[in-house]
């Protein structure tokens, strides 16, 4: 989909990067290969995503959706953030301790699936809603806020 809003395009690009990275993680683990460097890279990217992408959506976008009568989307996505955050923080901690730990495989596969499902929902509902909701000025402000975060 082509987005007119800068913030939608930025979030969409990050979704693409997330899917590419976690697609590699999923394929590697499904083939029972061990790649500690890839796991560390995934953990670092996830930490960044939880801290920046998720927080930005929760602080800046979901309240705007709720105010526009689209609160159900924000609620669902917020709840998924909670689930992904809990699993993600555990994954980051385990990879930081020892990337060869056996429980990392199941956790990483779960995270890969949750992240893909979450991106699907954001691409289907959040980004199209932002296209309607934001005017150019607000879009510029949000883009600047996100760039500075």
Binding residues for another protein (CB under 8 A): 1, 16, 19-20, 23, 27, 69, 72-73, 76, 79-80, 82-83, 86, 106, 109-110, 113-114, 116-117, 119-121, 123-125, 128-129, 131-132
- For residues 59 and 74, the answer to whether their CB atoms sit within 8 Å is no
Q: At its nearest, how many Å lie between another protein and the CB of residue 148?
A: 28
Which one, 81 or 144, has the nearer CB to another protein? Answer: 81
Which one, 32 or 148, has the nearer CB to another protein? Answer: 32
Q: Using only the alpha carbons of the chain, give its radius of gyration.
A: 16
Those residues whose C-beta lies under 8 Å from the C-beta of residue 111, and which sit 6 or more positions away, are: 22, 46, 84, 87, 88, 91
Q: At its nearest, how many Å lie between another protein and the CB of residue 113?
A: 5
Which one, 27 or 149, has the nearer CB to another protein? Answer: 27
Q: At its nearest, how many Å lie between another protein and the CB of residue 121?
A: 8
Quote the DSSP letter at residue 5.
Answer: S
How far apart CA 65 and CA 53 sit, in angstroms, is 16
How far apart CA 143 and CA 8 sit, in angstroms, is 9
Which one, 19 or 47, has the nearer CB to another protein? Answer: 19
How far apart CA 58 and CA 117 sit, in angstroms, is 18
Q: At its nearest, how many Å lie between another protein and the CB of residue 92?
A: 17
């Amino acid at each position: 989909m082509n987005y007119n809003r800068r913030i939608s395009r930025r979030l969409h690009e990050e979704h693409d990067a997330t899917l590419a990275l976690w697609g590699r993680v999923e394929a590697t683990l499904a083939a029972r290969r061990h790649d500690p460097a890839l796991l560390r890279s995934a953990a670092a990217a996830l930490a960044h995503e939880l801290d920046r992408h998720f927080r930005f959506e929760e602080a800046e976008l979901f309240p705007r959706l709720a105010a526009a009568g689209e609160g159900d989307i924000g609620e669902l996505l917020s709840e998924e953030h909670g689930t992904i955050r809990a699993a993600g923080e555990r994954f980051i901690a385990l990879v930081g301790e020892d990337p060869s730990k056996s429980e990392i495989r199941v956790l990483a596969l779960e995270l890969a699936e949750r992240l893909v499902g979450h991106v699907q929902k954001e691409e289907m509902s959040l980004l199209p809603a932002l296209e309607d909701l934001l005017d150019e000025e607000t879009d510029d402000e949000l883009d600047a806020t996100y760039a500075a975060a």
